[in-house]
Amino acid sequence: MNDGSSVTYNSAGYGSTVGVQAGVVHSVNLVHPDADPQEKYKAGVRSLEEGAPSRARELINDAIAHGYDSAEVRFHWVLATLSGRAYHDLDTEELQRLRHASARVPDYAEGEWKDALRVAFELLATLSAADGESGRVLDRLRDLSPLRRDAIVQHFDLVLTGGLKDSLWTENRERAEHERFGNDRAQRVWAYFEPEPIGPRAMPPRPSAAAAARAALPVRVGVFVVVTAFLFVLALVASPGASVVELLVALGAGLVAARYGRPWWYQEHHTKADTGESALPRPHDPASAGDGFTNGVRHSFDHYFSIRTPYGITPDAWLRHTAQIRNALGSEIAVLYRESRISVDRVNWLIRHLAEDVRDRHNKGALYARPDDQAPAAKGICVAALAALGITTVALLVTVASGSGAAQAVLAVLAAGGAVWSGRAAASRWLEAAGEERRVTEETREYEEQLATRQAAYQNWKSFLDAARPSELEMETWLTCDKTLFVDAALRHYQLTWRDLITHSILVTPARPYTRGRVKGGPWRYSRYSFRLFLVTQEGVREISTEFDFADAKRGNEQRSNYRFDALSSVQVTERTHVAYDLELVLTNGPARNIRVKDAETHYLTPDESEREVSEISLDSAGFVHTFRLLEGIAADGKGWIERNNPQNMPPFHTAD
């Protein structure tokens, strides 16, 4: 696998891939622009659960605008509006819409959704309320069903602060610890980044040359019949009794030679048992040695042959022993798939299957095709028949010469020469046509057998991959758990509680080397992450960063730094032609720091995706917008930012019931 930075990851396990894999896009059913409001709402809820709140806001807003509204819809709309955002990130229009929606809560039918919606608005109202009121709201929050309560706590993460969050943090952390490695995470994450395998193909039979060979056959057979008949007529005239016997012997020898000559000729011309070439595929044209895809295929063959070795044979010895087979198979795969413009990763399942097939055939002693057991006997009988035919021909010439004049003898010799020439030419064409027909039949059978075997291997691999691949919800749940426990570790390290924090922000970016993948319409996900947490207190900003291996959640390369509000002199963003955003932090007492936020080439978009939407979803998922606004505000206002964005100094948020 590769992230596009020439860093390759090899593995000998089932989840291994070899070569360059810059990005994997999985297919899902995207909601159609003309879908009904209910479908758009459901798609919005899925996007919210899967870590794409910006898309969720768009879809749910669209559903509401078309008249699809209820307490359930409004509940998820509130979550989408606040997910990944702090209260001060909302603009005036969004605040007005929230207040308007809060006033409409009494209009909805009673039930769990209305209760959850009421609690969500009450939590917003408590941002500027006394602690006693906060306690009552927390009690009502805990009375909700676990699913509704957990959804509010998760998506209100940046809204809830102070004592309100302190009261919820212990159970939130315990839930993260419980779910962090749930659903066999460590054994399944690799499958998310595994590309969709391309379907099986096999080398079809080469075009038959039998028709061309048969086209020239009538003339040669005609000449042979004429001159042979003339020769026997001369023999009959010279000596009827002897010529009849010789005629019968010649006819029998010719039929025997034809019967046993065909398998002998085919064995000699279509099988190379001594070199094993009959076991090799037959590409129609050679693969270019300089072709990137072809080189990737060959490297992949080398990799899988080196780890799929027969018992008792070292990888190096096995690679030497199978060099010819690997080259031929590599050429076959390059020819079959090169025009599809795919990465080698998508055909690795077939390369792995072929490596296992060669190993298994070696174990059975059938790595190379054996010669036809009848070929030696057929050769001997054919040679004997041809010898008999030659002797009989000479006997015919003697018969003509002894019973006729010199002129007839000369004609007989000429006729015999013509018979030999035309017979050889006719036999050559006939054997070529018959051999081509047999070859096409055998290659057709091999093609059908290979395709059926590869189809079975493809289905097995795809079924295994589909069963192992985590869902978007599972990937987002694991990532959320990692972020929760990372924040908890930072609070413990700095001996802080949520009451000590004014706000916080966590920026999630890829850590090289990585592999990546996403579903259509979803954010990019990575095999390795970099988490950067900013904790804002009255004294300044505490920053802690670390790198995560997503499969096992192991952390490394941790760094910490602290700075006062006035030490952050500027924050700016540089967009690099839709490939990446660089967030630059400039401190008064240190060098500028660049943080790569987005790294998703636009040529990995599917035809029905918008570059703007995918970019927005990825940035939203990374926490970029909130982090940038937070740091930008601190750089501009210093400590004055605290007072300006203190929820208690903002207009109160009232609820209605």
- Position 266 pLDDT exceeds 70: no
Determine how β-strand 516-519 pairs with β-strand 568-576: unpaired
Residue percentage of the chain with pLDDT more than 90: 39
Long-range contacts, 243-246 (Cβ 8 Å, 24+): 243/396, 243/399, 246/392, 246/395, 246/396, 246/399
The larger pLDDT score, comparing residue 522 to residue 219, is at: 522
**What is the DSSP pairing of strand 516-519 with strand 525-526?**
antiparallel
| Distance between CA atoms of residues 532 and 19, nearest Å | 30
The first and second tokens of residue 477, run together, are 């749940």
Nearest to 574 by CA among 584, 587, 560: 584
CA separation for the pair 197, 464 (Å, rounded): 12
> What is the residue-wise DSSP string for 458-527?
HHHHHHHHHHHSPPHHHHHHHHHHHHHHHHHHHHHHHT--GGG-SEEEEEEEE-SS--EEEETTS--EES
Mean pLDDT of 204-222: 77
Least confident of 101-105, 147-151, 408-412, 623-627: 408-412
Residue 629 CA to residue 77 CA, distance in Å, equals 23
598 vs 387, higher pLDDT? 387
Residues whose CB is less than 8 angstroms from the CB of residue 482 and which lie 6 or more positions away in sequence, other chains included: 180, 529, 531, 548, 550, 553
Cα 301 from Cα 332, distance rounded (Å)? 12
Average pLDDT of every residue of the chain: 81
**13-35 residue pLDDT tens:** 333 333 334 567 776 656 777 88
**pLDDT score for 326:** 93
Task: Report which residue type is found at 275.
Answer: T
Q: Cα(first)–Cα(last) distance of the chain, in Å?
A: 56
Give pLDDT, residue 229: 77
Q: Is the pLDDT of residue 634 over 70?
A: yes
In the predicted structure, residue 130 carries a pLDDT above the cut 60? no
Q: Report the pLDDT averaged over residues 78-99.
A: 90
Residue 261: pLDDT above 80?
Answer: no
Q: 283: burial class by Cβ within 10 Å (0-12, 13-18, 19+)?
A: middle
Please tell me the predicted confidence (pLDDT) of residue 187. 95
Distance of CA 26 to the CA centre of its chain: 8
Nearest CA to 476 among 415, 523, 528? 523
* Range with the poorest average pLDDT among 115-119, 469-473, 522-526, 596-600: 596-600
Q: Return d(Cα 502, Cα 504) in angstroms, integer.
A: 7
Higher-pLDDT residue of 598, 410: 410
* pLDDT interval class at 491 (50, 70, 90): very high
Q: If DSSP states are collapsed to H, E and C, what string results for 30-97?
A: CCCCCCCHHHHHHHHHHHHHCCCHHHHHHHHHHHHHCCCCCHHHHHHHHHHHHCCCCHHHCCHHHHHH
Cis omega (within 30 of 0) on the bond before 33? no
DSSP letter at 558?
Answer: E
Do residues 502 and 640 lie in contact, with contact meaning Cβ atoms separated by under 8 Å? no
Q: What is the pLDDT of residue 68?
A: 95
How do 580-587 and 593-599 pair as beta strands? antiparallel
Mean pLDDT of 375-391: 73
* Residue pointed to by tokens 């208690």: 648
Task: Give the highest mean pLDDT range of 324-338, 447-461, 534-548.
Answer: 447-461
Phi-psi region of 271 (alpha: psi -120 to 50; beta: other; left: phi over 0): beta
Residue 657 has pLDDT above 60, yes or no: no
Contacting residues for 167 by C-beta, under 8 A, at least 6 apart:
134, 135, 138
pLDDT digits (tens, 9 = 90+) for 172-186: 999 999 999 999 999
- Is residue 4 very low, low, confident or very high in pLDDT (cuts 50, 70, 90)? very low
Q: How many residues does the chain have?
A: 657
Q: Which of 42-46, 264-268, 599-603 has the highest mean pLDDT?
A: 42-46
Residues 542-566, mean pLDDT to the nearest whole number: 90
Q: What is the pLDDT of residue 272?
A: 47
Residue that has been written with the tokens 């008792």 in this structure: 312
Determine the average pLDDT of the residues in 262-288. Answer: 53
Q: Measure the CA–CA gap between 526 and 530, rounded to whole angstroms.
A: 10
Residue-level pLDDT at 29 = 59
Q: What is the pLDDT of residues 326-372, one digit of tens each?
A: 999 999 999 999 876 788 999 999 999 999 999 999 998 887 755 55
With 0-12 / 13-18 / 19 or more C-beta atoms within 10 angstroms meaning exposed / middle / buried, residue 150 is middle
d(CA 356, CA 440): 27
Which of 130, 416, 389, 433 shows the shortest CA–CA distance to 265? 433
Q: What is the pLDDT of residue 647?
A: 60
pLDDT at site 107: 92
- Look at residue 650 and tell me whether its pLDDT is greater than 70: no
Q: Among candidates 261, 265, 266, which has minimal Cα distance to 440?
A: 266
Cβ atoms 481, 180 nearer than 8 A: yes
Who contacts 472 (Cβ-Cβ below 8 Å, separation ≥6)?
A: 46, 49, 50, 51, 519, 522
Q: C-alpha distances in angstroms, 91 versus 95, 102, 123, 519?
A: 6, 17, 19, 30
* Rg value, the chain, Cα: 40
Instruction: Find where tokens 């509000």 sit.
Output: 565
Residue 1: what pLDDT?
Answer: 37
pLDDT reading at 128 higher than 50: yes
- Reply yes or no on whether the pLDDT at 475 is more than 90: yes
pLDDT of residue 278: 41
Q: What pLDDT score was predicted for residue 19?
A: 33
